[in-house]
Amino acid sequence: MKLDINQQAFFELMRAGLWEKEALLDQYKKVDYDEVLRIADEQSVIGLVTAGIEHVQDVKIPQDVVLQFIGMSLQLEQQNKALNDFIVLLIETLRKKDVYTLLVKGQGIARCYERPLWRASGDVDLLLSDTNYEKAKKVLIPLADNVEQEYKTFKHIGMTMKGDFTVELHGTMHSRLSNRIDRGIDEAQNDVFFGGNVRSWMNGSTSVFLPGVDDDVIFVFTHILHHFFIDGIGLRQICDWCRLLWTYRDSLDRGLLEKRIQKMGLMTEWKAFAAFAVEHLGMPVLAMPCYDVRCQKDDVRWKKKAEHILEFVLESGNFGHNRKAASGKFNSAWNKLKDFARHGRIFPLDSTKFFFYFLWDGIQVITSK
């Protein structure tokens, strides 16, 4: 895929912000910064691009552009501070009722960034054991402003609290793509709940528990694949994965990770997204597990897959934002069918298997309501 000047400038700035390194923009003539802002917004990486602007070495970006990016990033700071305060209230409310949970994705992954408050915030996702899942529902549902329909087959319920905060309770992090993948996720989940493999984040004076990094990498990557195949995926989620791998590059058990990825049958997907991260996001190749000199010898194959991923990411936007904005509910099923078909160019066998599993899983969800 050939990127236009504005897309190239966007990626230059985003890589600079992602890795806190210099950016060179003189090579891109007549950059339309309104277009750069639009791309950053639909990919939910405004903060990264703003950080990248601070590292521009060779041109002077117009002051009004700089102020616009900074203003939006300061809004992110305020949103993140408010969300962090809410998480303290939420965790303490649950603990007072003897309910213990893990924070997954979101604000936990934000700790892996150089500027956590400049990462676009989202929902509060809590992962709970079977017992705590049921107890959490009893505690939180009476306090919620609105409660969504529960999906009992994969233990998921969402709710809105305190007006602006969305909380999702997960009894499992299943991908809905295959039993083989979900067994691997269950293994990681059991390692967290029964093996005690957790880490913590001191949010003010409250200790918030997060999955241990070896398990968190599994949760984050399979979540990316879920959205890639089913909803659409944006750069923020892939950047999260990169920052998690980078932050824990010295402590991650690479042997265990490779074994798990192989066992779930996801090595091709891992290497394709690894190629995307290295080629387009500037991920240091030595920090990317399961992507080494052997992959680089077969460089053309993985670069081609990375190009297809790039095209889809730019088209779909953050969590399929562009499709939802343009088509509403009517084309949702059609988009999913087209996505599975087009992903067959990258993952021929898996895309077909995942599609039929997703259909069967959807039938089970409907009949269980």
Give tens-digit pLDDT for 169-223: 999 999 989 999 999 999 999 999 999 999 999 999 999 999 999 999 999 999 9
Mean pLDDT of 325-345: 66
Segment 220-240 shows an average pLDDT of 94
Measured from the Cβ of residue 117, the count of other Cβ atoms closer than 10 Å reads 18
Q: Quickly state the pLDDT bin for 128 (edges 50, 70, 90).
A: very high
The answer for residues whose C-beta is within 8 angstroms of residue 252's C-beta and 6 or more apart is 213, 214, 217, 245, 289
Confidence of residue 319 (pLDDT cuts 50, 70, 90): low
Sheet holding 165-170, edge to edge: 102-104, 124-127, 165-170, 156-161, 146-147
% of the chain beyond a pLDDT of 70: 91
pLDDT at 326 over 60: no
Residue 53, token pair as written in the block: 């602007």
Structure tokens at 27: 């090579």
User: Which residues, listed in sequence order, are joined to residue 169 by a DSSP beta bridge?
Assistant: 126, 157
How does the average pLDDT of the chain come out, rounded?
Answer: 91
Q: Which residues pair with 207 in a beta bridge?
A: 202
Rounded distance, CA 52 to CA 32, Å? 16
Across the range 224-228, mean pLDDT stands at: 94
Average confidence (pLDDT) over 90-95: 98
The per-residue pLDDT for 335 is 74
Q: Is 336 in contact with 316 (CB distance < 8 Å)?
A: no
Which pLDDT does position 210 carry in this prediction?
98
Sign of CA dihedral 19, 23, 28, 34: positive
Encode pLDDT of 4-27 as tens digits. 999 999 999 999 999 999 999 988
Evaluate if residue 273 carries a pLDDT over 80.
yes
Least confident of 53-67, 97-111, 176-190, 292-306: 292-306
Question: What sign does the dihedral 333-355-311-123 (CA atoms) show?
Answer: positive
Contact partners, residue 289, CB within 8 Å, separation at least 6: 245, 252, 254, 257, 258, 274
Dist CA 5 CA 77 (whole Å): 29
Say what the pTM is: 0.92
Distance CA 12, CA 280 (A): 9
From CA 36, how far away is CA 29, in angstroms rounded?
Answer: 13
What pLDDT sits at residue 362?
62
Q: What tens digit of pLDDT does each residue of 36-57 get?
A: 999 999 999 999 999 999 999 9
* Cα–Cα distance measured from residue 9 to residue 35, given in angstroms and rounded to the nearest whole number: 10
Q: How many CB atoms lie within 10 A of CB 112?
A: 20
> Does 234 score more than 90 pLDDT?
yes
Q: For the chain, which residues make up each domain, given as ranges?
A: 172-368
Q: What is the mean pLDDT of residues 55-67?
A: 94
pLDDT at 68 over 90: yes
| ∠ Cα 209 215 221 (to 5°) | 115
Residue pair 169/140 in contact by the 8 Å Cβ criterion: yes
pLDDT at 227 over 50: yes
Rounded to whole angstroms, the Cα distance separating 281 from 198 reads 28
Q: What is the pLDDT of residue 154?
A: 84
- β-pairing, 198-203 with 206-211? antiparallel
